[in-house]
Amino acid sequence: MKDKKTNKAETETISNGMEKIVSLCKRRGFVFPGSEIYGGLANSWDYGPLGVELKNNIKQAWWDRFVRRRSDMVGIDAALIMNPKVWEASGHLATFSDPLVECKKCHERFRADNIDIDAPCAKCGAKGQFTESKQFNLMLKTFLGPAEEQANVAYFRPEIAQSMFVNFKKVLDTTRRRLPFGIASQGKAFRNEITPGNFIFRTREFDLMEFEYFIEEKEWEKWFEYWQKEMMEWITKDLGINPKKVHEVEVPKEDRAHYSKRTVDFEYDYPFGQKELYGLAYRTDFDLKNHEKFSGQNLKYRDPETGEEFFPHVIEPSFGLDRSVLATLVDAYYEDGGHVVLKLPFKLAPYKAAVFPLLANKPELVELAQKIHGDLLKSFPVAWDDRGNIGKRYYSQDEIGTPFCITVDFDSLENGDVTVRDRDTAKQERIKIKELTEYINGKISG
């Protein structure tokens, strides 16, 4: 569901726990402030070399789990800007809004459900100066073509869901699926948030991964429960997040999105408080019904056995990708006396291994280490480091979550083996060079 209540902490300076994550992300190239050389832009962020690997690994793991490995799911990749009629039919133009108040003195705007109206303005300190609350639509508007006139107004999508609904009939015709089945997609979504904040938690441009699971109405409770369990499995198994820090929260009617008859939010204990990670909604037949009404096209499902035509109902698991990255990073972060270890699940780690020649000034060690690095790169991403002492190199890889560090020493030249050091246990073992790829692949997939 659209985030409702946020507490004050969200708009304030990032708390201590977050400072460490933000600083690590910037220092090691996971996430950079967007347009920083021009002073940044309204809480926008860019993923750096390590961040893009982590993000892509999460996207790929999600696609594998929910699309590739299932016979009841297919994927699409749709346009970000859709015919504006889509947003009339979906109800977003009328109801996708947050309550907004403005300080009459300094003109700063706030989400009305985000502040204490009787308290002084957080920006200028004026008391009793807030305007009446009015609804502010979150759709991000643009114009298509050269003329900026009403006829050319279009909107960047605030969710992917509508792409799945407008393509429902075509997917059905081309894939001949039978109920129950799902259509999945991943990609950008845009919301003109009044108060973006808390690093990559709330931004105006973000990545979503979601699917619409089409079912018969009488089975909605069964499928809701099924997907609730599957979402929890994804969070704890694929992202490796501690289940104790995840809360399944029943969303009351007044806080649910306009299309939902039941919503359960998965909330995570971020350093700035317990907040939404994902949402699971029962969208009924609201969307297909409205698109049929507004488009005049028949969007009903025809039962191949009985010939009966009806609107399928929909269960929608929705996953914010940036929030997945954030919760995964926060949960993986361990610190012990200044030694930081990112205990990322091996599958998600940007590098699976790092290769070090014991001494950078011994050509025979460097040559063998380079050969091993090149060979391993054919199978997975591998870092290279020949600076400083081995201890420092281990710590540097721990901080970015690299599961295995491989050191090439003088014994390697004699015996054809190397030291492999495990990130989580710090244990070291000698492994034959010719068995390294298989060894690491086994650990990653195991």
CB 282 within 8 A of CB 261: yes
Length of the chain: 446
Give residue 331's Cα distance to chain centre. 14
Nearer to ligand GAP, 111 or 423 (CB): 111
Q: Tell the smallest beta-carbon distance from residue 323 to ligand GAP (Å).
A: 4
Those residues with Cβ within 8 angstroms of residue 389's Cβ, 6 or more apart along the chain or in another chain = none
Question: CA angle, 223 as apex, 221 and 228 as ends, to 5°?
Answer: 95
Q: Which is nearer to ligand GAP, 324 or 412 (CB)?
A: 324
Identify which of residues 315 and 383 has a Cβ nearer to ligand GAP in the complex: 315
Give CA–CA dist 237/348, Å, rounded. 11
Least gap, CB of 107 to ligand GAP (angstroms): 23
In the complex, the smallest distance separating the C-beta of residue 344 from ligand GAP, rounded to whole angstroms, is 19
CB-nearer residue toward ligand GAP: 197 or 403: 197
Q: Least CB distance from residue 250 to ligand GAP, whole Å?
A: 14
* Distance of alpha carbon 3 from alpha carbon 138, whole angstroms: 12
- In whole angstroms, give the CA distance from residue 283 to residue 315: 6
Q: How far is CA 182 from CA 30, 170, 186, 286, 298, in A?
A: 32, 13, 14, 16, 19
Cβ nearer to ligand GAP, comparing 130 with 214? 214
Q: In angstroms, what is the minimal distance from the CB of 12 to ligand GAP?
A: 17
Give the pair of three-digit tokens for residue 145. 């073509």
Minimum gap (Å) between residue 416 Cβ and ligand GAP = 49
By beta-carbon proximity to ligand GAP, the closer residue of 161 and 400 is 161
* Those residues with Cβ within 8 angstroms of residue 192's Cβ, 6 or more apart along the chain or in another chain: 136, 137, 138, 139, 140, 141, 204
Distance CA 374, CA 389 (A): 22
Distance CA 85, CA 295 (A): 8
Least gap, CB of 272 to ligand GAP (angstroms): 14
**CB closer to ligand GAP out of 246 and 354:** 246
Residue 127 contacts residue 120 (beta carbons within 8 Å): yes
DSSP H or E run through 168: helix 168-175
Q: How far is the CB of 202 from ligand GAP (least distance, A)?
A: 4
Per-residue 3-state assignment (H helix, E strand, C coil) for 380-408: CCEEECCCCCHHHHHHHHHCCCCCEEEEE
Q: Which is nearer to ligand GAP, 277 or 341 (CB)?
A: 277
Residue whose CB is less far from ligand GAP, 194 or 418: 194
- Please give the residue whose beta carbon sits closest to ligand GAP in the complex: 320
Q: Both tokens of residue 383?
A: 């870092």
Question: Cβ 138 to ligand GAP, closest distance in Å?
Answer: 9
CB of 360 to ligand GAP, least distance (A): 43
Note the residues at the interface with ligand GAP (CB under 6 A).
1-3, 159, 161, 191, 193, 202-203, 206, 208, 210, 276-279, 316, 318, 320, 322-323
Rounded to an integer, what distance in angstroms lies between the CA atom of residue 209 and that of residue 99? 27
Residue 275 CB, shortest distance to ligand GAP, in Å, is 9
CA dist., res. 187 & res. 156, Å (int): 12
Residue ranges with strand state E in 216-261? 246-250
Residue number with CB closer to ligand GAP (130 or 199): 199
Report whether 319 contacts 210 (CB < 8 A).
Answer: yes
Q: Which CB atom, from 58 or from 418, has the smaller least distance to ligand GAP?
A: 58
End-to-end Cα, the chain, rounded Å: 35
